[in-house]
Chain A
Amino acid sequence: QKEVEQNSGPLSVPEGAIASLNCTYSDRGSQSFFWYRQYSGKSPELIMSIYSNGDKEDGRFTAQLNKASQYVSLLIRDSQPSDSATYLCAVAGGTSYGKLTFGQGTILTVHP
Chain B
Amino acid sequence: DTAVSQTPKYLVTQMGNDKSIKCEQNLGHDTMYWYKQDSKKFLKIMFSYNNKELIINETVPNRFSPKSPDKAHLNLHINSLELGDSAVYFCASSQTTGPYGYTFGSGTRLTVV
Please determine whether A43 and B107 come into contact, CB atoms closer than 8 angstroms: yes
* A12-20, A72-80, A87-95 - the one binding chain B: A87-95
The answer, among B42, B56, B104, B106, for a CB contact under 8 Å with A98, is B56
Kindly provide the distance from the CB of A8 to the nearest chain B CB, expressed in whole angstroms: 8
Contacting residues, chain A, for B33 (C-beta < 8 A) = 99
Please determine whether A92 and B104 come into contact, CB atoms closer than 8 angstroms: no
Contacting residues, chain B, for A45 (C-beta < 8 A) = 104
Please determine whether B43 and A44 come into contact, CB atoms closer than 8 angstroms: yes
Residues of A whose CB lies within 8 Å of any CB of B are: 31-32, 34, 36, 38, 42-46, 49, 51, 86, 88, 90, 92-93, 97-102, 104-105
Query: Does B66 sit within 8 A of A, measured CB to CB?
Result: no
Kindly provide the distance from the CB of B38 to the nearest chain A CB, expressed in whole angstroms: 10
Interface residue tally on B, bucketed by range: 20 to 34
Please determine whether A98 and B41 come into contact, CB atoms closer than 8 angstroms: no
A101's closest neighbor in chain B, by CB?
B45
Contacting residues, chain B, for A88 (C-beta < 8 A) = 41, 43
Please determine whether A90 and B41 come into contact, CB atoms closer than 8 angstroms: no
Contacting residues, chain B, for A38 (C-beta < 8 A) = 41
Please determine whether A99 and B42 come into contact, CB atoms closer than 8 angstroms: no
Please determine whether B45 and A100 come into contact, CB atoms closer than 8 angstroms: yes
A88's closest neighbor in chain B, by CB?
B43
Contacting residues, chain A, for B55 (C-beta < 8 A) = 98
Contacting residues, chain A, for B99 (C-beta < 8 A) = 31-32, 51, 92-93
The answer, among B42, B102, B106, B107, for a CB contact under 8 Å with A100, is B102
Query: Does B97 sit within 8 A of A, measured CB to CB?
Result: yes
How far apart are the CA atoms of A101 and B46 in the complex, in Å? 11
